[in-house]
Amino acid sequence: MLRIGALDDDEAILFTLTAMAKTQGWDLETTTSVDRFLFWVRDGAKDIYLLDYHLPRMSGLNVLRQAKSIAPDSVIAMLTVEQNPEAARRLLEEGAEDFITKPIRLADFCSRINLLKRLSASVKGVWRESRKGLSEEKIRRAKGILEESGDRGVTAEEMAGRMGVAYATAHRYLEYLVTRGLVEREEAEGDGRPGRPRLVYRLYRAGGRQSGLNI
């Protein structure tokens, strides 16, 4: 069953979304709490997330940024009364996969959700493919080494030495953690291996980016 999570400060909107989802056999859970919504994102609890653009205490755009920071692969559609092209462009640039305009109509809602359903399945397939051949134990080991290294970070060469694996293997594990939004990388001073820049990898320390994210 398709799992959908919706955040809006208007209980009437949430009631409407729930009723519409029920006609399609979709499981839609609602909340008026930003913290609850971000918990879903962090936990990977939903296939699709619906987020109100105009929230009373925090901009929906800021919540979108936080959600994408926590889980870059989350599929999020904004709920908005805005219908001008500039607003739509900004939402998409900030990472929203789509938007649904208010007042919400059943035909439009179902059409958008079905498109997002296919996108969600595709995104999950990409993540599964990127993880093929990776060991759960080695992922945990790499994360442990990164935690121990703190702000100093590690290079792929250092990771290879500490894990007891080839450079290419260590590099793949580090890059996988980057794609999951757990690790940042930057080019450091000094020479890397011939033909390669010297890259340093470290866990994100701000914004809870690595906290609670499923790997």
pLDDT value of position 160:
93
CATH hierarchy code of domain 136-203: 1.10.10.10
pLDDT value of position 209:
44
Does the structure show a pLDDT above 70 at 119?
A: yes
Architecture of domain 3-131: 3-Layer(aba) Sandwich (3.40)
| 134-160 tens-digit pLDDT | 888 888 899 999 999 998 999 999 999
Band of pLDDT at residue 125, cut at 50, 70 and 90:
low
Does the structure show a pLDDT above 90 at 128?
A: no
pLDDT value of position 144:
92
The whole-angstrom separation of Cα 113 and Cα 173 is 33
What spatial distance separates the first Cα and last Cα of the chain, rounded to whole Å?
A: 22
Residues 3-8 have a mean pLDDT of 98
Residues in contact with 183: Cβ distance below 8 Å, sequence separation at least 6, in sequence order: 146, 174, 177, 201, 202, 203, 204, 210
| 78-90 tens-digit pLDDT | 999 987 788 888 8
Q: Structure pTM? A: 0.63
Does the structure show a pLDDT above 80 at 63?
A: yes
pLDDT value of position 129:
59
- Domain ranges across the chain: 3-131, 136-203
